[in-house]
A and B are shown apart, each in its own frame.
Chain A
């Protein structure tokens, strides 16, 4: 008897522990995303072990990532443009030093480089040097610039995403966020009406025979792997769009939206159909008994009654589209630029993670930035779930 009781207790313990796994998983996901991503905002955007130096008379103490990029790209050519003296900017790297000094001065195993750097920088007030920290002497006569830190504003409002740019990587997620929103928005714009119509057709109009055809079709659409959708999009849809609009490349936001629309359809149809079916038959009967046609009853009684469920379908459809990775990665062309038309390549948040994480050094700034993108995605899906739970009709 006691053994039986004990085993019963044990079993309940096992059952209980299992039921906590999903909760733990969510907490772990939050923990690990933040642990891996949050350090981003303490990091410098300049590559580790590198330093920026200027002449001791140069009044500039620090430069933003954007200002650095502008200098390196040759857009900024005078110190006055960044608040310094009226001197042309001269960019000095180790190649510059190597070409200015002979081998004797540089030394056989580069042991003379620090001295050369000191010499060159001391004589050129207009120079800005970008060197490996070991090439700058400890008693350097000039100034080390304070390296720019990545700020929340840089990250969330920055308009350029160049995670591997030299000397200062740019982690502005705005183009990625906009890319995601554009692709998702158009996809839902296409999928919602079609999905809603199919849901109405399935729940109200189709007879048993039609349902028997449509239901498995929708299940199959839901079952096709996203990479197969991506493949189909790439070999069929992309060339088609390219030819149709006479574009240089067919990988566009439009291609992503079309594929996403197909992928979001099963979610939208299933949930909307359930919502429409949940309308009490008595309401439909009341409407018909008053001389309304079936179509009037659907429009005026059934759809209004099911609207919170339809809203849920809409939101979950968005969730499905926002998080989708592979198909979008394969058909949107992945240019991290602010989208301006649906006929140009864009890059979404999930596609960025998938495309770049493999090349980002573990624990580095780029790596952290990608995890921060993961946090953004997680927060979005969390909000979507909360919204759905809030609008879900309370059962009487």
Chain B
């Protein structure tokens, strides 16, 4: 083999590899488009005013998904009300107060562990603690607390990252002006970190609105064509409703259009949330530069 030939193959092996890489990477885009496209095309015809604001009727083969939408909104609100303050406070404490010691390491490792717990295990835990031991029953409260715990690590991490990106010299400048640590955090650090913390919140909303396993045994109702009155009521929820329509409805074939519609609503929520998160991120970077 001559030297010249080898050089050619060295280059062409790079060309081959990179072409393959491009192809594989863009096939991922293809997969997303197939999934989204399929659900959008099939789901679009199911979406109507009645679908969004009506009660399910006729064995869930007709009518709407209004109670499921309201239920999911309740769960999102409930879990965020619980997890957001705790998560942000926890992130502040970890980044601003704790030094790199065993305590911080423990908390961080536990947060990572909590983030890795499968959603169905959250469901088991929520059922054991909130539904039975604390006797909340199958309720918005039990479901929200379960979901809240699940997204807590997301909020803590994004808060920590957001705070870390705030320049230390700003803190020092504030101290030099006689501000206390708490004042510095409130008046200097948080306003700068705020948009990034918000991104964590938005991601949590996306996660909560799509999760099924944690609510299976803590709140979700199979069929409940009315709106909740209190946090101790059961509710329907979009992801569980989709599961029911797909696998255990009274007439699975007849409820297919309803299922496509519900899937589309879920997809739209995810798309909106992602767009919002990106907008916040962009706003943040523009403001900085």
Contacts and interface: CB of A to CB of B under 8 A. Distances in A.
Touch between chains A and B, by CB atoms below 8 Å: yes
A185 interface: no
Given A216-B278, A325-B118, A389-B109, A32 B125 contact: yes
B94 A236 contact: no
Interface stretch (A69-77, A102-110, A149-157, A371-379): A371-379
- 4 tightest CB-CB pairs across the interface, nearest first? A323-B118, A225-B210, A18-B89, A295-B14
Nearest to B129: A32
A293 B107 CA distance: 44
Interface string B103-136: 0001101111110111111111101110011000
A201 B22 contact: yes
Nearest to A324: B118
Contacts of B127: 357
B172 interface: no
Interface of B: 10-11, 13-14, 17-18, 20-22, 24-29, 31-32, 35-36, 38-39, 85-87, 89-90, 92-94, 97-98, 106-107, 109-114, 116-125, 127-129, 132-133, 149, 152-153, 156, 180-182, 206, 209-213, 216-217, 239-240, 242-243, 246-247, 256, 259, 263, 266-267, 270-271, 273-274, 278
B263 A231 contact: yes
A283 interface: no
A197 interface: yes
Contact of A323 (B14, B28, B120): B120
A197 B25 contact: yes
Contact of B247 (A202, A224, A228, A330): A330
Interface string A194-233: 1001101110011000100110111111011111111110
Interface stretch (A48-56, A88-96, A169-177, A380-388): A380-388
Given A296-B10, A362-B132, A378 B25 contact: no
Given A230-B243, A389-B112, 18 more contacts: A18-B86, A21-B90, A36-B128, A194-B28, A197-B24, A198-B25, A205-B18, A216-B274, A224-B210, A225-B209, A235-B246, A296-B10, A296-B14, A316-B116, A326-B239, A353-B124, A357-B217, A371-B124
Given A8-B180, A231-B242, A22 B90 contact: yes
Given A22-B110, A26-B110, A296-B10, A205 B21 contact: yes
A76 to B, nearest CB: 36
B31 A262 contact: yes
B29 A217 contact: yes
B24 A225 contact: no
A80 to B, nearest CB: 44
A357 B266 contact: no
Given A29-B117, A294-B14, A22 B124 contact: no
B115 to A, nearest CB: 8
A300 interface: no
Interface in A9-25: 11-12, 14-16, 18-23, 25
